[in-house]
Chains A and B, each alone.
Chain A
C-alpha cells in the first residue's frame, strides 16, 4: 500500500529530540524514536504521559517546540498537517454525520481530482476491506460504534498513506467489539504492510497488537521493545508495574547473588550485587510456584510457608493473596489456573508452600 518506496534504507520514521510544553507543563522531554517500515508500534502509557501529544506532533496537528521528524527520508519537522503523508483515526471516529458512508470514505479522494469510476472502485474496495461492503448508502449514525470505527479506518486508508495513526481507536467501544476490532485492525495492517502508530492506555491491547511497544511515562520513554521483552524483562519499575501485575519485594543484598527479604535470603540468577545495598525484587504473580503440601521443600532455598489470605476469581485464572508465615516477608500474590483452585486445598486460610524461582526474581532500573 505504501507506494512511495523512496528510501529503503534506515527507519521509515525517525523522531529526534522531540520536546513540547504547554505553558509551564512539560508534556514531552526530548523523545528519540525510530520506527521501521511496515511496523505496528504502540505508544503505551497512563493518561497525561504525552503519548497523544507525540502522535499529534507526528501528524502535524501540534507543533513540537524542539526536535526533528524525518519520514521516509524527508524532513517533515516544519510541514503543516495538510502537507504530510498519513491517515488518522480518532477515538471519537470523527465521521462526518451529514454525509453517507460512501461520501465519508471518498471525502479525501474527491479532492485529488481522481476519476469518478476510480473513486467508486476505490470506495467499494475499502468498504470490502473493512467488512462493510453494503453500508455505502447509510449515515454514520445508523451504524454501531465498531462499524463506525471501521469506516473511519477505511477513510484514513483511502488515499493509501505511508503512515497510519490510530489515536485510542478502540477506547469508546464495548469490550466484545474491542476484542474483535483489535484482531481485524492488526490483520489488515499486516496485510497492507502500512507503518502504523497506535496510541493506547490499554496494556492488553498493546501486548496483543504491537510489533513493538513504546512505554511512556511523564513525557519520557521508559522502554521500547517487543511485547514479550517488555513484559518479561521490564526495563524500569514503571514499565513493570504498568504492564501486567507484579510483586515488589524490598530487601537488602546479602551477597553477590542473594537478597535478604524479611528475614529470608533469596537466591537470584545473577552475582553482581553489592552486599548491603538496598534493592527491590520484582516477581510476576504467575511466576510464583504454589505447592498444596505445606511441607514441600522445607528448608530449600527460595521456598517458604504461606497462608492463603484470599482468592480472587478472574475467569480463566485466580489470584491468590498470600501471607508468608513466620517472617516479616511482605504479602504477595500468585496466579494459578482455575482448575487448580477447583481441585481444593487453596481456600482462604489454607496453609501451603511457595517457591520464588531465582530466574524470575528481577532487579529493575
Chain B
C-alpha cells in the first residue's frame, strides 16, 4: 500500500490507488517544525485565553456558577458605569485622533511644504514612550500645580478630559502610520487623469483621495479605538475617579485578589476590541484588490497657499507633541515642579539609582533585547515554514488564524490569562511564573500579529520558485533559508526586531500582572513611582525609556542604511547599466 512505504524505498504505485508522494526526511523535518510552531502558538495564546473563560464561570473556590458573576458585575451600577465610560472615551478619542492624523498625513503626502522628514519623525515620537508619559506630562501642564491649569477653566484634568487628551497623544502615531501608508499607496495616474479632465481640487479630494484612503482610515480608527479601550496606564495615572474597564481589571486582580471577577471584566473588555478587530480584518481583506502593480506614486506640486496652511498646521501639531514629551523630560531634570525649577539630576541619582529602582530599567532592557532576539527568530521562522514549505494545509490555516488573534486581545486580558494559566499548579510550565521568560513570552505573543504580517509580506515578495529550484539542485531547504531567504529578508527581520524591542520597552498592560520583585520593568516602575507621588523619578524613568527606544530606532536606521549600501549591493544596478 502506497501509504505504508518508507521514504527510502517507495514501492511501485498500486493500480487504482491515490498516489501519495514519499516524504524526504527534510520535508518531514520542515513539517515537524511547523507543527511545533503551531503547538507553541496554541499553548501560549489559547491556553491563557481559555483559562480566562474557565475562571469567569467559576467562583473563588473553583465551583461552576455559570453566568452568575456576569450578572453580579452588571448589577453593580459603578461597574456598569465603567463600560459606558470606556466606550465613550474611546469613541471621542477616535473621533479626534483620526481627523488630526489624517490632516497631518495628508500634508506629508500631498503638499510640497518644507520639512516633511522632520514632521514625520516628530509625529511618530509618541511611540517611543510608554503611554504613562503622556498622562504624567499632562498632569504637569494642567494638574493641580499645572502651568496651564487656568486654561481649563476649573475643569479638573483628572478624569475623562485627561484620559482623552493623553490617549490622543498616545494613539496619534499609530493612526498616522496607517493613514500615511494608505495615502502613499495612492495611484498618481488617477490624479493625472482627473486633472486632464479638469476636475476641481475639492472634487478630486472627495472622489479620489478619500475613497483611496478609506480602508486605511477604517483600519486606523479601529486601532485607535482598541488602543484606548485596552490602555491601562493612562486612566490609572490621570483617570482620578473616572472608572474604566482596564483599571477595573487591575483593581479586581491586584487590589482585591479576585481573579474570577477580573476574568469577567476581561471578557467584557475583550468584546469591543474583538468587534473592532473583526471589522478591520474584513476591511483588510478587501483592500488588496485595490492596488495595481503598475500604480505610479503621486508627486505633489507647489501650491503656496495650501502648502503654507499645511506647514502651519504641522508645525502646530509638532509643537504640541514636543510639548508633551518635553514636559516629561523637563520634569525629570528640575528639582521640584513648580516650586524649584533649578536644574538637577537628583531624580536620576537619588530617585532612581539610590532607590534601587534603576534595576527595573535594566530588567526592561534585558527583557526587550531577549524579546527582540528570540521573538524575531520564532516569528520569522514560523512565517517561513508557513509560506515556503508544503503539506499539512489544516495546520497552516490554524497558524494563520492563531497569528491574527493577538491583535484582537487587549494586553490586560492576555496578562491576566498568563497568571491564571501559568500559576495553575497542574501546569508543568508553572516554573515560568515570576520569571523574565514569562514576560518575554507574553510580550512576543502580545505583539505577534504585526510582526507576523511584516514577515509574511517580506516572504511573499520573494520568488515563489526558490524552494523548487533548491529541491531540483538537491540543496536542503534550511541551507537556502540561511543563504538566500534570511539575507534577502534582512531589512524586514531588523524591522520586526526593532518593533518588538520598542514595544517591550514601553508595554505595561500585558506585564503588569506578571512581574515579580526581581523582574520589575521600567514601565511598571513608573506606575509605582507615580502611585507613591514620586513624579520626578517617574518622569526620569520615562525619559530613560524614550532614550533607549530612540537609540534602537537610530541604530536600526543606521544598520539598515549600511546594509543597503554594503552587503545588499545586489539591490543596486551595476554602475553604468
Residues of chain A whose beta carbon lies under 8 Å from any beta carbon of chain B: 59-61, 63-68, 75, 77-84, 86-88, 90, 92-94, 96-99, 107-108, 111-112, 138-142, 155-156, 158-159, 161
Contacts and interface: CB of A to CB of B under 8 A. Distances in A.
B475 interface: yes
A93 B469 CA distance: 10
Given A96-B466, A108-B473, A78 B21 contact: yes
Given A99-B483, A140-B570, 20 more contacts: A63-B19, A63-B20, A64-B19, A66-B18, A77-B10, A77-B13, A78-B5, A78-B10, A78-B11, A78-B13, A78-B20, A80-B27, A81-B468, A82-B476, A92-B463, A93-B463, A94-B468, A98-B484, A98-B570, A156-B472
Contact of A155 (B2, B22, B473, B572): B473
11 contacts: A66-B18, A77-B19, A78-B13, A78-B22, A87-B473, A94-B463, A94-B466, A94-B469, A111-B473, A155-B469, A159-B474
B12 interface: yes
Contacts of A142: 570, 573-574, 577
B485 to A, nearest CB: 9
A54 to B, nearest CB: 14
Contacts of B483: 96, 99
Contacts of A141: 570-573
Nearest to B484: A96
B285 interface: no
Interface residues of B, number: 43
B465 interface: yes
B570 A107 contact: no
A81 B466 CA distance: 13
A155 to B, nearest CB: 7
Contacts of A107: 470, 473, 475
Interface in B470-512: 470-476, 479-480, 483-484, 487-488
Interface of B: 2, 5, 7, 10-13, 18-24, 26-27, 463-466, 468-476, 479-480, 483-484, 487-488, 568-574, 577
A81 B12 contact: no
B471 A75 contact: no
B26 A90 contact: no
Nearest to B575: A142
B180 to A, nearest CB: 28
B339 to A, nearest CB: 61
Contacts of B469: 88, 90, 94, 155
A155 B470 CA distance: 11
Contact of B21 (A63, A93, A161): A63
B576 to A, nearest CB: 10
B471 A111 contact: no
Contacts of A88: 468-469, 472
Nearest to A94: B465
Nearest to B569: A139
B19 A99 contact: no
Contacts of B23: 80
B465 A90 contact: yes
Nearest to B22: A78
Nearest to A75: B12
Contact of B568 (A67, A78, A98): A98
Listed residue (B7, B471, B473) with the most chain A CB atoms within 10 angstroms of its CB: B473
Nearest to A96: B484
Contact of B475 (A83, A90, A108): A108
A59 B473 CA distance: 12
Nearest to B18: A65
A159 B571 CA distance: 28
Listed residue (B463, B468, B488, B568) with the most chain A CB atoms within 10 angstroms of its CB: B468
A86 B472 CA distance: 6
B471 A81 contact: yes
Contacts of A92: 463-465
A80 B5 CA distance: 13
Given A75-B12, A94-B463, A60 B21 contact: yes
Nearest to B490: A98
Listed residue (B469, B474, B571, B572) with the most chain A CB atoms within 10 angstroms of its CB: B469
A17 to B, nearest CB: 9
Nearest to B19: A64
Contacts of A93: 463
A114 B471 CA distance: 18
Contact of B474 (A61, A65, A99, A112): A112
Contacts of A61: 468, 471
A66 B479 CA distance: 32
Listed residue (B19, B22, B468, B470) with the most chain A CB atoms within 10 angstroms of its CB: B19
A88 B470 CA distance: 10
A110 B250 CA distance: 59
A300 B470 CA distance: 66
A156 B473 CA distance: 8
Contacts of A79: 10, 21-22
Given A90-B468, A96-B483, A75 B474 contact: no
Listed residue (A61, A81, A99, A142) with the most chain B CB atoms within 10 angstroms of its CB: A81
Contacts of B22: 78-80
